[in-house]
Every structure is written in C-alpha cells, then in structure tokens.
C-alpha cells in the first residue's frame, strides 16, 4: 500500500514537471478572439485559455491567457494582448513589446491618455525580474513610447 501511494505521488510530480502550456489548455479561442468585447487579431496567432504561471504568454503563432486575465479591466486585457502580440513581431524584448503595444493601442484608438496611467498603475506593482523592469522605470518607458512618433 505504501508503495502504491509513493508511485501515485511520483506520477503526479512528473505530470507537473513535464507540463507545457499546451497540455494546460482549457479552451481554444482561435485567431480572432473577442477580448473585453472587441474582436482582436494578431498576425494569425491562435489564442488559448490555459493554466500558466504568468497572466499571459506568447509563443510563435500562439498566445496563452490565464483564466483570471479575462476579469482584468478592458484596457489591461487589450494591453496584455497587444504586448503578447508584439512578441510575435519584435521578439523577446519586454521593453520593445511594451513600446509596440502602447503605440499600437494609441494609433488604433484603444488607449486614450487616461488608459496609459491605468495600465501603468495596474500592471506593474511587481519589483521586477530578469525580463521585466521595476514598475516606475517600465511605466516611464511606456509613457515615452506613447508620446513619441510615429
């Protein structure tokens, strides 16, 4: 009996360790998902609802969103979608993805000026990590992108 319990625990552990975003997919939203009431598209990339550790994750041709993403304020949902979309185009740089997302949102009328502050204050209360700058610096750069041309 002890042996069986040990085997069961090990199996669970292996599933946890080996799980990729793919195996955690809850729903396929397709290439033109409705995000906060607006149909969005990103270079044909497919969107999925998935159990992942971050709020969202971009991979070539695929974008993953955690279930709680869909309860964020609309500006945040659009910004995060645009940010993950940007990774499809500008590569893995977080600063470049932020900048691209802010300009796209501005140019397409998604982000009025007050949205910028909301996005800044809402998202980045984190102290920063290897890829994401601490909040004030990241916000400052996003505001610079928003106000720069084109």
Question: How buried is residue 55: exposed, middle or buried, by Cβ count under 10 Å (0-12/13-18/19+)?
Answer: middle
Q: What's the closest the beta carbon of residue 15 comes to Zn ion, in angstroms? A: 27
- Nearest to Zn ion of 68, 129 (CB atom): 129
- Nearest to Zn ion of 3, 130 (CB atom): 130
Q: Segment contacting Zn ion (CB under 5 A): 28-36, 45-53, 92-100, 114-122? A: 92-100
Q: Segment contacting Zn ion (CB under 5 A): 60-68, 91-99, 101-109, 110-118? A: 91-99
Residues 56, 68: Cα–Cα separation, whole Å: 10
Alpha carbons within 13 angstroms on the beta-carbon side of residue 41 total 4
- Residues in region 96-125 near Zn ion by CB under 5 A: 97
What are residue 10's DSSP bridge partners?
none
Select from 137, 146, 42, 114 the least CA-distant residue to 56: 42
Residues 64, 57: Cα–Cα separation, whole Å: 5
- Nearest to Zn ion of 97, 139 (CB atom): 97
Q: Segment contacting Zn ion (CB under 5 A): 41-49, 67-75, 89-97, 107-115? A: 89-97
Residues found in the chain: 150
- Nearest to Zn ion of 85, 94 (CB atom): 94
What is the SS3 assignment for 99? Answer: helix
What are residue 34's DSSP bridge partners?
39
- Nearest to Zn ion of 131, 147 (CB atom): 131
Q: What's the closest the beta carbon of residue 46 comes to Zn ion, in angstroms? A: 18
Contact positions vs Zn ion (CB under 5 A): 94, 97
């Amino acid at each position: 009996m002890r042996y069986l319990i040990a085997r069961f625990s090990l199996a669970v552990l292996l599933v946890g360790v080996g799980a990729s975003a793919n195996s955690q997919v809850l729903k396929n939203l397709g290439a033109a998902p409705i995000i906060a009431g607006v149909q969005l598209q990103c270079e044909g990339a497919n969107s999925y609802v998935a159990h992942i550790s971050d709020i969202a994750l971009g991979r070539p041709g695929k974008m993953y969103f955690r279930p709680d993403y869909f309860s964020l304020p609309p500006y945040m949902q659009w910004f995060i979608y645009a940010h993950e979309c940007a990774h499809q185009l500008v590569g893995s740089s977080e600063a470049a993805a932020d900048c691209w997302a802010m300009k796209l949102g501005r140019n397409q009328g998604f982000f009025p000026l007050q949205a910028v502050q909301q996005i800044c204050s809402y998202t980045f209360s984190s102290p920063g990590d290897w890829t994401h700058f601490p909040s004030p610096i990241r916000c400052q750069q996003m505001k610079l992108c928003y106000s720069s041309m084109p």
